[in-house]
Structure 1
Amino acid sequence: MKNKLSEEFKNRFDAEPLFYASAGRINLIGEHTDYNGGFVFPGAIDKVIMAAIAPNDTDKVRMYSIDIDDYAEFGLNEADAPEASWARYIFGVCREILKRGGVVKGFNAVFAGNVPLGAGLSSSAALESCFAFALNDLFNDNQIDKFELAKIGQSTEHNYCGVNCGIMDQFASVMGQKGKLMRLDCRSMEFEYFPFNPEGYELVLIDSRVKHELADSPYNKRRQSCERVAKRLGIETLRDATMEMLDSIRTDITAEDYFRAKFVIEEKSRVLAVCDALNAGDYETVGKKMYETHHGLSYDYEVSCEELDFLNDIAKECGVSGSRIMGGGFGGCTINLVKKDLRDSFIKTAKAKFNEKYGHEPSVYPVVISDGAHKEE
C-alpha cells in the first residue's frame, strides 16, 4: 500500500510525502455498555487507513482518495466545508484541531485503506485517527495528547458527519497496541491494557453481509429501557446496578425493561471476568464468555437476527472456542475465537452452510491485534 500511495502522491503533487496510518478495531466483549456507563474491551487490528501527506505552503487542503477515485480541495475555515462526505471527515478533523487552539496549515494528501467497509470495523474512525495523528505530528510537534486525538475524531463525527457516536472506535484506533486489548471505563474514561497473545488461537470475523432495515429506532428504545430501570433504582446508570437490585423491582417494571437491564448488568460482569481470564492466559474462559454475550444479545437484548444466530450455531457445531455478534446488531459480523487447527474447516463449513441457507457466502476477515495510529518509517 505504501508504494502505491508514494507513486500516486508523486504523480499528483510532485513531492516526497511522509506516511501515517491508523487502524480499524474490534471489540472483544462489552456491547451496549458504553451508554450505560460500563466497560468496553476493544483493540486495534491489522487493517488500516494509510495516508501520504506533505505541507503545501498554502491555506488549502488537496486530497485524493485512491479507493473511491475522487479528489477534493477545501480551505480551513468553517465556511469551506466540502460537499463529498468522505472529505468532510478530514475537514472535520482539521476544524476540531483548530477549535482546540492547535495549528493546521495547507497540505496535500493521498490515502487508501484495507479496512473492510460496512463490516463494523470502524473505517471512519481509522480515517479520522490517521489524519488527527498526522496533523498533530506535522504542525503541532505532537503536543496534543493521544486521548484528545480520539476526542477530535469523535467530535468530527458529531459536528461534521451527523453521527452521535461514543468514544470507543476512535479510542481504539488511536491508542491500540500490538498484542494488547484495552478495557475502557466509559464513565471515568480510565483505561488499562491487557495482554492478548492467544497462541494456538486466531480471531476470525465472519461478515453476514446482511443489514436489516428497521422500521423503528431499536437502539433508542433499548437505551430508554435502561434509563427507565436506572431511574427506578435511583442510580445514574446501570453500571451501578446488581442483579439483586434488579430482581427487587422486577414486579414494578415491564418484562422488556427487566431483560434489557439484565443483559447490561451481566455484561459488566462478563467483561471483568474476561480481564481476569486474559491475565491468566485462559482463552477457553474468554470464549465461553463470548458465547454468553451472544446469548444475552439474542434473547435478552434482542438485537441479533436469524443470520447471526445461524453463524453462532455453526461456530458451536464446529467446536469454535468463542463466538458472538460484534456491534450494534441486526446484521454485520460475528467475532470468533478459533483454535488454529479448526480454522480452515470452520471457515469452509460456515461459507458452505450459510450459502446453502441464504444464497450468498459470508465474507471472512482474519484479524490480528496490532498498533493504532502511528507514523510509518
Structure 2
Amino acid sequence: MDTTAVRNTFKEKFGAEGILYFSPGRVNLIGEHTDYNGGCVLPGAIDKGILAEIKPNGTDKVRAYSLDLQDYAEFGLNEEDKPKASWAHYIFGVCREMQKRGAKLSGFDTVFSGDVPLGAGLSSSAALESTFGFALNEIYNCGFDKKELVLIGQKTEHNYCGVNCGIMDQFASIFGKEGNLIRLDCSTMEYEYVPFHPQGYKVVLVDSVTKHELVDSPYNKRRQSCERAAAAIAVNHPQVKLLGDADLEMLEEVKGKISEEDYMRATYAIQENQRLVDTCEALKKGDYETVGKNIYATHHGMSKLYEVSTIELDFLNDIAKECGVTGSRIMGGGFGGCTINLVPEDKYDHFIETAVAKFKEKFGKEPKIYPVKISDGARRLN
C-alpha cells in the first residue's frame, strides 16, 4: 500500500497532515451460501485494503479525494446533501449512519486509495466503509463498539449504495486478526477465532476476469429453494427453521415431497454447513490436507448441486487439481470472480505459470493473480 502517494496528495490538496487509517478486504476460506441458511462462514482479513488520511477541517463540509479515480467530491452531512459520485456514497453513508446513532460529526478532509482489486470479490466496499467507520469513531470519540461499526457499514450499503448485503465482509474487515480466520454466525454475530498457520502453503486468488454481477434472480431462486426444503423438513422436525438446523437424513425423508432442484440445492447447503464445522476442527489440528479436500468438495457442490460456477472457474479448478494444489474452489456468490487456492509452496510457481498459460490459450485473456496473507483488521497506522 502506497502511503507516500496518499500523504503527498493530502498535503498538496489540503496543506496539512492528517491521521492514517487502514482497513482490509477479505477472503472466505469455506462456507459459501451458508449465511442465509443459518450456517457459519469462515472469512479472514487480508493484507490488501483501503488506506485513508483524515483530518477535521473546522467546517460542516466533507472534502474527499479518491486517489485511484482522481476524483474530488464535497458534501455536507445532512440527508439532502448526498453527493453525486457513487464512490462518495460510501463515505457519506457511513457519516449518516453514525449520526443516526447519535454521533456528533463535523466536516473533515480526506484522501484515500486502495489496493483491493475491484470486482474480484475481496470486498473493497466493506474495506472503505470500515476505514471511515473506524477512523471517525476514534477521531470524534463516538464510543461505538466493533459490532456497531460492522452494522454501520452494512446499513451504509443498504441505505446509501443499494446493496442488500449481509455482515460477513464488514465483520472480517473490522474484526480481522493476523494468523486467524473468523468462524462467524451471520444471524447472531457470534464468532470465534480459528487458527490459520499454513506453513509450507500459500494462499492465492486466481481471478477469472469474468464479472460476477450478482444477478438477483438466480441468487434469490437458490435462496427460495433452500427455504422450501427447510419448510418441508420442519413439518416432521419443528425445530428446523433453516437448513443449518437440518441434516441429510431429515432431507432424505422429504425427498419425494420437494422438487429435484430444491433437493439438490438443499443437499449442497447442508453439506456445506457440515464442511465448515469439519474444516474448523482440521485447522485446529493443523491438518491442511483435510482442509484442502473440503475446499475441493465445496467447489464440486457449488458447480454441480448449487450450479453457480462458470466454465472459466471450473477450468481453473481442474488446472489446480492437475498441478497438485491442496485445495481450490470458487470464492463468493458465484457467476464469475475468483478461485481461492491453498497451494504447497514448492508447487506455487508451476501452478501460476500453468494457470495463466492454459487459461489464456482457452479464453484469450490472462487471469489475474492475487497472493494474499491473513492479516489484522481496521486500524490506525500512525
Tell me the amino acid that sits aligned with residue 81 of structure 2. D
Q: Is 1:331 aligned with 2:331?
A: no
Post-superposition offset of 1:236: 1.6
Distance 1:368 1:70, change over 3 A: same
Rounded Cα–Cα distance in structure 2 between residues aligned with 1:103 and 1:128? 18
Select the residue among 348, 355, 379 that pairs with 1:350. 355
Aligned counterparts of 2:83 and 2:186: Cα–Cα separation in 1:
32
Q: How does 1:66-81 map to 2 (within 5 A)?
A: 66-81=67-82
Question: For residue 237 of structure 2, what is the aligned residue in structure 1?
Answer: none
Alpha-carbon offset, residue 215 of structure 1: 8.0
Give the 5 Å matches for 1:1-377.
Answer: 1-140=2-141, 143-211=143-211, 217-234=217-234, 235-377=240-382
Tell me how far apart the structure 1 counterparts of residues 250 and 109 of structure 2 sit (CA, whole Å).
57
In structure 2, the CA distance between the partners of 1:266 and 1:215, relative to structure 1 (3 Å rule), is: closer
- CA distance in 2 between counterparts of 1:273 and 1:244 reads 18
Q: Output the CA distance in 2 between the equivalents of 1:321 and 1:189.
A: 30
Q: Mind listing any 5+ residue stretches in structure 2 that lack a counterpart?
A: 235-239
The Cα shift of 1:217 comes to 1.1
Q: CA deviation at 1:211?
A: 2.7
Change (3 A) 1:100 1:214: closer
Q: What secondary structure sits across from 2:360 in the alignment?
A: helix
* Contact 2:212 2:334 (C-alpha < 8 Å) held by counterparts: no
Structure 1 residue 233 displacement after superposition: 1.5
With 209-218 and 225-234 compared, the bigger mean Cα shift is at 209-218
Matched residue pairs, number? 376
Deviations 1:211-234 (A, max 9, x none): 367987100000000111111122
* Corresponding letter in the other structure for 1:354: F
For 1:15, the aligned partner's letter is A
Q: Does the 8 Å CA contact 2:302/2:309 hold for their aligned counterparts? A: yes
Seen in structure 2, the aligned counterparts of structure 1 residues 216 and 175 have a Cα distance that, compared at 3 Å, is closer
Query: Aligned equivalents of 1:63 and 1:105: distance in 2?
Result: 14
Alpha-carbon contact 2:202-2:371 (below 8 Å) kept = yes
SS of 2:125's partner is helix
Take 2:109 and 2:214, find their aligned partners in 1: how far apart are those partners?
A: 41
Deviates more, 1:76-85 or 1:226-235: 226-235
SS in 1 for 2:209: strand
Return closer, same or farther for 1:215/1:268 CA change in 2, 3 Å cut-off.
closer
> 3-state DSSP class of the match of 1:331?
coil
Does the aligned pair in 1 maintain the 2:25–2:48 contact within 8 Å?
A: yes
**Contact kept? 2:119, 2:212, Cα under 8 Å:** no
Shift of 1:187: 2.5
Give the distance between the partners of 1:241 and 1:307, measured in 2 at CA. 33
Deviations 1:215-258 (A, max 9, x none): 87100000000111111122321111110000000000000000
1:301–1:349 CA distance, 2 compared to 1 (3 A): same
**Partner Cα separation in structure 2 for residue 181 and residue 5 of structure 1:** 29
CA distance in 2, matches of 1:282, 1:76: 51
The SS at the match of 1:209 is: coil
What amino acid sits opposite 1:2 in the alignment? Answer: T
Task: List per-residue Cα deviations over 1:91-119 (Å, max 9, x = no partner).
Answer: 00000000011221110000001001110
Contact persistence 2:212–2:337 (CA under 8 A) = no
Which AA in structure 2 matches 1:146?
K
Task: Give the 3-state SS of the residue equivalent to 1:210 in structure 2.
Answer: coil
Pick closer, same or farther for the CA change 1:236–1:285 going to 2, 3 Å: same
Over the aligned positions, Cα root-mean-square deviation in angstroms equals: 1.1
Runs of at least 5 residues in structure 1 that lack an aligned partner in the other structure = none
Q: Is the 8 A contact 2:183 2:192 kept in 1?
A: yes
1:213/1:57 CA distance change after superposition, 3 Å: closer
Q: Secondary structure at the match of 1:67?
A: coil
Which has the larger displacement, 184-193 or 87-96? 184-193
C-alpha deviation, 1:304, in angstroms = 0.5
Distance, in Å, in 1 between the alignment partners of 2:167 and 2:213 is 25
Q: Secondary structure of the residue that 2:337 maps to in structure 1?
A: strand
Q: What secondary structure does 2:99 align onto?
A: helix
Which TM-score applies when normalising by structure 2? 0.97
- TM-score normalised according to structure 1 size: 0.98
State how far apart, in whole Å, the 1-side matches of 2:215 and 2:16 are: 51
Does the CA-based 8 Å contact 2:119-2:211 persist in structure 1? no
